[in-house]
Chain A
Amino acid sequence: MSDAFDPDPGAPPASAPTEAEQVDANGVDLTLVRHTLSLSPTERLKAVENYLNAVSTVRVVR
């Protein structure tokens, strides 16, 4: 365990990511890409399933 003291754990990191690090030249949100890449294939499948079911529910309600 680190004994370093963090005076403000809620503060933004010292070097916040730049816009270029977050969005590529085509406007793709790289934070979203990194998030989905961090999931397991099963978690990605569940995310697709949840999305499809949400859309299907909205269709039924309408």
Chain B
Amino acid sequence: MDAAERELLQATIGDALAAVDADQPDAVDAVLADLGWIEMLDTARADAVPIVFRALGTTNAMGSALDDVIVAAFGLEPRADLAVVLPPFATWDPPGSGADGSARGLATSRVNSARQLLVVSGDGADLRGAAVPIAAADIQVVRGVDPDAGLHTVQLDLAIAGSEPLPVGADWEAAVAWGRVAVSHQIAGACRTMLELARTHALERVQFGRPIAHFQAVRHRLATALVAVEALDASLAAAVDDPGPMTAALAKACAGRTAGTVAEHCQQILAGIGFTTDHPFHRFLKRTMVLDGLLGSGTEITVALGRQLLTTRRVPTLIDL
């Protein structure tokens, strides 16, 4: 896609998502399907994933597009009746790696319509994929801090009759990388909205006879938040331009860190109203808390990256001019 096509897609998807009820995952999925999401994922993935997930984040929509990203990254055909078992919160090993032959993890709202679960187990060259009948799994709705995220916990025994092998290659890392790029864009979108909500509030809220946006303490918090969001955007652009497990890990770690920074400053500026459910801020705060844990949290990935530096005793520059 050229820049003009990207802009058009961005506007189209942004408008379409803004018009649906963000808390209705089926409606969100339907909008994306209508706009040709699955075809885009096949033919223009590097453009479509950032645009779609950023728009999801900006509008606080969730849906189950992440399942499609992971399935497509394995070279399989995404389909509405196949849900992915994601790793447990804050982790990223294949969910079917339990020593007792069990699989545990998370799933999106896709489990509501799916007939089968994609479960990946093993590691490295011994990676195995299986499509398991959904009825065989113990699936529980997660309310948690963000019930509207539509997440579920999944637990199942891998030795289930009726499961079919699915060829996933040895590409767990690549699938995780794509998933991280997607979720990180979603976090970035949510951060932008939090910042815009706080900015608008600062310009409208009058205290001591003038809008609080005039006070340097407030301005500096917003500036700090913008610097963090811009740094995240740069890290995301690097993950798209130079795709790979490490640039994606760095972007996801940066996303977790940025969400914390942005939420802290914006919540402080929004003050009383941001502490209520009358104002939309809380939805974005809670959504980023949940998104941070998908495919590894910022904190856990940061430690893993550090461990990698200490093991190799090298600091790769990864991107060049």
Query: Do A and B come together as binding partners?
Result: no
B-contacting residues of A (Cβ < 8 Å)?
A: none
